[in-house]
Amino acid sequence: MKSIRIKWHIIVFLAPAVLVYTAVMIFPLFNTLRLALYTEIDQTRVFAGLQNFQTLFGDPRWSESFWNALGNNFWFFFIHMLVQNPIGIALAAILSHPRLRFAALYRSAIFVPTILSFVIVGFAWKLILSPIWGIAPEIMDTVGLGAFFRPWLGLEETALTTLALISVWQFVGIPMMLIYAALLSIPEEILEAAEVDGITGIAAFWKIKLPLILPAIGIISILTFVGNFNAFDLIYAAQGALAGPNFASDILGTFLYRTFFGFQLQLGDPHMGAAIASAMFGVILIGVCIYLFGIQTRLRRYQF
Amino acid sequence: MKRTLRLAVLMTTTMAATGAFAQDVTLTIESWRNDDLTLWQNVIIPAFEADNPGISVEFTPSAPAEYNAVLNSKLEAGSAGDLITCRPFDASLSLYEDGHLANLSDLDAMANFSDVARSAWTTDDGSATFCVPMASVIHGFIYNADAFEELGLSEPTTVDEFFAVLDAINDEGSYIPMAMGTNDQWEAATMGYQNIGPNYWRGEEGRLALIAGEQSLTDEAWIAPYRQLARWGDYLGNGYQAQTYPDSQNLFTLGRAAIYPAGSWEISNFNAQADFAMGAFPPPVPTDGQECFISDHTDIALGLNPASDNADAARTFLEWVGSEEFARIYSNALPGFFSLTDFDIEQEDPLAQEFVSWRGECSSTIRSTYQILSRGTPNLENETWNASAQVIRGAESAEDASARLQEGLESWYAPHQ
């Protein structure tokens, strides 16, 4: 007879993290999901089932705003994947080159914007790109490109892309750092063995290093995905809650803010807001699942 | 630490003993007027405190764009101040209905206000008034008088003259004809559409007809202002699409732009910033000699948080806010915010006097989208911001924009269905 002994020390050590995480993350999450199932009639909260979701996806006005925000969000993510990650990888590859001088200086300089507040970044770029006081028009003038300057943040076609590129500028340091670390962890012997086989320079990067850092790139992609679909601050700081012009830069975060808290004469609707938040949660959950089950399981890992 | 504590204990005991300052309370005011912080601290509050020992007042504003969201969260959480600055119409009405504003109909000071002045803070059936009206703002155009003199221009009275003036400034080339951007959107609606519109829809007559469902936004009177706005785009500065509200203010006060589509609330800021002479003209009328209308919008009031522990002191303050003394101090400390009381208040500032003088020549109305029409989703006011900015940018025609707004209104507002 062997009685099962409760391992108290495990419970004791896990308790603080579990309690704090439950109180500040899990409980609010489920409460938001619950809030989405209610509505308010005459100042009293009544259970409404999936009616909020029906409005969100069924009502032409709500669904138009929602799909517009979701589409914009995908474009925002697409620009990040297309620009931020390749640049991050390239920078990391250059930085890890053993003969590069002042590597530490470049590394910090590129990483610094990441720790700046969104408000500062949004405000600084708004000033830089301002057609009235900005330095962008003057710089472009001096190199003879003055005719190509446009008030990018104010035009429907370019506002979102401009904001995405500003965000890329701010966060390119993160993929750079993660991939830089991954590159440094590749043992010298492997590269030397490849050199013996005649694989050097650029070929060594494509054939040896890139396959070895793929897991890091996967992690970065999923971090970018979650970050982009939760994004709000930069758009709000640069364009305000109406995410102009004509909602061209409206993403799920700003749409949620306007709905939940209200805007100017529009009163806040916490229940519709919670429905949007649940939809955002769903989108991110699906994205993360696709990554976890579709991509990560297929990535090969190498043990050194 | 210990000493101050002992001192405090000593002081409280002496005060309790004398009994003269039995109630020593601090009232906190929630507001979105962060521009007025110094005026409240240096002029308005000291004037009140001098007459009312024992009550001290703190003015704690937040940023205008965040005010409603911040205030609602604070009220829900029970951490809001004693006195609450009221937005006009539905935002405050819903606060009253939710029990976050007290009924103030029994204040003696309410007798100093006309029904129109109270309309923005009274229930639909007129039974309760829940905020003490403080001020209204008047729309019009402020211009650089030195520039007008230099170019030999005079104040336009009709729309044709207005565009002739803009053309003249444009052709001469040293000034941007008009300082306004579409980045923040609200200027396009507030200083654009709501500024020039009343002349087309004949002020209150058209506004009330729209609420009653007798007129629609696709009527000529409501499309015409958009047609005029569509022509504005050519006279705004380079890159106006990305120009923000502070950009526009600075362009004008730095003397780079000649005309500024304005609300009277700009006056004190402009007086401080601009070093040239300024003048103002009311929105030009479409046909010569017609009756003129101005937007004289009930904008700001002060209400009482029922959860306040200092309700008696707060009511004392509110009685004072409705008095002639406050009206005189407030409208002269903040030229451009015109008192809504029935008292005859002399304006010391010439520009403010110019604005308020239009009340005598033209009929007053309030912004068309504020009462009742912004209750549903889509919100007509927010849609008007978007439509006005779109029309100025040339991204949407006046007819399409009006049709879109009308369709939105019809989707929830019974009188239009």
Summarize pLDDT for B90-142 with one digit per residue, the tens: 888 989 998 999 999 999 999 999 887 888 999 888 889 999 999 999 999 99
DSSP B110: G
Test A266 with B381 for CB contact under 8 angstroms: yes
Q: CA dihedral defined by B397, B399, B400, B402, rounded to 10 degrees? A: 120
pLDDT score of B13: 45
Peptide bond preceding A187 in cis form (omega within 30 of 0): no
Please tell me the total count of domains within chain A.
1
Test B68 with A154 for CB contact under 8 angstroms: no
Task: Provide the total of helices (H) and of strands (E) in chain A, helices listed first.
Answer: 16, 4
Block residue for tokens 């640049």: A87
Q: At what angle do helices A118-129 and A159-171 cross, to 10 degrees?
A: 130
- The residues, ordered by sequence, that sit 6+ positions from A98 with a Cβ below 8 Å of its Cβ are none
Summarize pLDDT for A242-256 with one digit per residue, the tens: 888 999 999 999 999
B138-296+364-416 CATH:
3.40.190.10
Q: What letter represents residue B340's amino acid?
A: L
Give the pLDDT band of residue B347 (cuts 50, 70, 90): confident
pLDDT score of B125: 85
Test A150 with B239 for CB contact under 8 angstroms: yes
| Cα angle value A229/A210/A215 (rounded, 5°) | 45
Superfamily of domain B17-135+298-347: Periplasmic binding protein-like II (3.40.190.10)
- Whether residue B18 is predicted with pLDDT greater than 70 in this model: the reply is no
pLDDT score of B73: 85
Q: Which of A154, A241, A262 sits opposite B241 (nearest CB)?
A: A154
Burial, B75: exposed, middle or buried (Cβ in 10 Å; 0-12, 13-18, 19+)?
Answer: buried
More confident residue, B391 or A298: B391
**Which stretches of B53-117 are assigned E, i.e. beta strand?**
55-61, 83-86
Summarize pLDDT for B355-373 with one digit per residue, the tens: 999 988 999 899 999 888 8
Say what the ipTM of the complex is: 0.83
| Interval B146-174 mean pLDDT | 95
Cβ neighbours of B90 in A, within 8 Å = 265, 267
pLDDT score of A146: 82
Q: CA dihedral defined by A231, A236, A241, A247, rounded to 10 degrees? A: -70
A residues 102-121 closer than 8 Å to B (CB): none
Block residue for tokens 């000649």: B258
A9 inside domain: no
A30 inside domain: no
- Chain B interface mutation, best of A265, A269, A271, highest count of B Cβ atoms under 10 Å: A265
Test B68 with A246 for CB contact under 8 angstroms: no
pLDDT score of B69: 79
Domain range for A254 is: 60-298
Q: Which residues of chain A have pLDDT under 50?
A: none
Test B395 with A245 for CB contact under 8 angstroms: yes
DSSP B156: -
A220 inside domain: yes
| Interval B180-203 mean pLDDT | 94
Test B242 with A264 for CB contact under 8 angstroms: no
pLDDT score of A173: 93
| Interval B394-415 mean pLDDT | 94
CATH number for the domain harbouring residue A228 = 1.10.3720.10
Measured in Å, how far apart are chain B's first and last C-alpha atoms?
69
Block residue for tokens 């904001």: A163
DSSP B263: E
Summarize pLDDT for B20-48 with one digit per residue, the tens: 444 589 999 999 988 888 889 999 999 99
- Chain B interface mutation, best of A267, A271, A272, A276, highest count of B Cβ atoms under 10 Å: A267
pLDDT score of B17: 42
Range list for CATH 3.40.190.10 in chain B: 17-135+298-347, 138-296+364-416
A214 inside domain: yes
- Chain A interface mutation, best of B186, B240, B371, B382, highest count of A Cβ atoms under 10 Å: B382
Tell me the whole-structure pTM to 2 decimals: 0.83
DSSP B276: S
* Cβ atoms of B301 and B85 closer than 8 Å: yes
| Cα angle value A179/A182/A186 (rounded, 5°) | 140
Q: Which of B23, B18, B58 is nearest to B312 (CA)?
A: B23
A250 inside domain: yes
Q: Which of A22, A25, A36, A23 is nearest to A277 (CA)?
A: A36
Test A265 with B389 for CB contact under 8 angstroms: no
CA B232 to chain A, closest CA, distance in angstroms equals: 17
A2 inside domain: no
Summarize pLDDT for B277-292 with one digit per residue, the tens: 999 999 999 999 999 9
